[in-house]
Amino acid sequence: MASKLDGPRLAPRGRAPRQLVVFLHGYGADGNDLIAIGQQWRTLLPDALFVAPHAPQICVASAGRQWFALDLRSEEELWRGVNQAAPPLDAFLAAELARHGLGPERLALIGFSQGAMLALHIGLRRRVAAIVSYSGMLAGPGHLARAANTPGSPILLVHGDRDDLIPAEALFVSAEELAKAGIACQWHLSVGIGHGIDAGGLMHGGLFLAQSFGAKQAPGFAGNG
């Protein structure tokens, strides 16, 4: 069945894509909110196709879109939400990879806030090259032991230390839960940043992806901190 999701795209200039980088936007936004990051990462990832699908649901709280109804107070609702949102996104990812003749090792998932929850959920249950979570958290950490993905997929967690929507503590809780499940991750804490992404976080994310796709580690890139 063809995927019904779609959104803005940035293709590599004058060449066929060798990597697929998919942005998953936050609650109340849409794909246009993150696609500009692809412009900033083009130098680091000149062979990447950047795609930012719009979530399928109209947001109940704004004029934007949502991947699922969001209730940060209920772990059960978050777990139900990511599981409901996963199948159409999985279909979209499979269709995009097939369209461009790419294997799963050429796919990276980048999520912000609610999109980061979904990126972690899906990326931990299928083969991907990398996962980057901005201002996100794990949904259903108690289910990690049953995740189908091997612990080999690189994961980067990025969070602002002044985030008043999803507190920075979520980064450390997520890292701890991943470690309990035998899944390694790297993290970066953006000082003085709220619920958003700063230039340092973007640079860490781009360098992390380039390294995950096999490029030589760029000068000045540090794993944690």
pLDDT tens digits, 18-48: 999 999 999 999 999 999 999 999 999 999 9
Question: Residue 93 domain-assigned?
Answer: yes
Distance CA 116, CA 25 (A): 8
pLDDT digits (tens, 9 = 90+) for 113-142: 999 999 999 999 999 999 999 999 999 888
CATH number at residue 62: 3.40.50.1820
Cβ atoms within 10 Å, residue 3: 16
Question: Residue 219 domain-assigned?
Answer: no
CA nearest neighbour of 120 among 175, 74, 77, 65? 175
Question: Residue 3 domain-assigned?
Answer: no
Going along 52-185, which residue ranges are E strands? 57-58, 65-66, 107-112, 130-134, 155-160
Q: Count up the domains in the chain and report the number.
A: 1
Question: Residue 218 domain-assigned?
Answer: no
Question: Residue 146 domain-assigned?
Answer: yes
Question: Residue 33 domain-assigned?
Answer: yes
Question: Residue 139 domain-assigned?
Answer: yes
Question: Residue 167 domain-assigned?
Answer: yes
Range of the domain at 163: 9-212
Distance CA 19, CA 216 (A): 16
Lookup: tokens for 65: 């879109």
Residue 141: C-alpha distances to residues 66, 106, 115, 153 (Å): 21, 26, 16, 17
pLDDT digits (tens, 9 = 90+) for 59-113: 988 889 999 988 877 888 889 999 999 999 999 999 999 999 999 999 999 999 9
CA nearest neighbour of 114 among 170, 66, 61? 66
Cβ atoms within 10 Å, residue 157: 26
CA nearest neighbour of 159 among 172, 149, 150, 176? 172
Check whether 193 has a pLDDT greater than 50.
yes
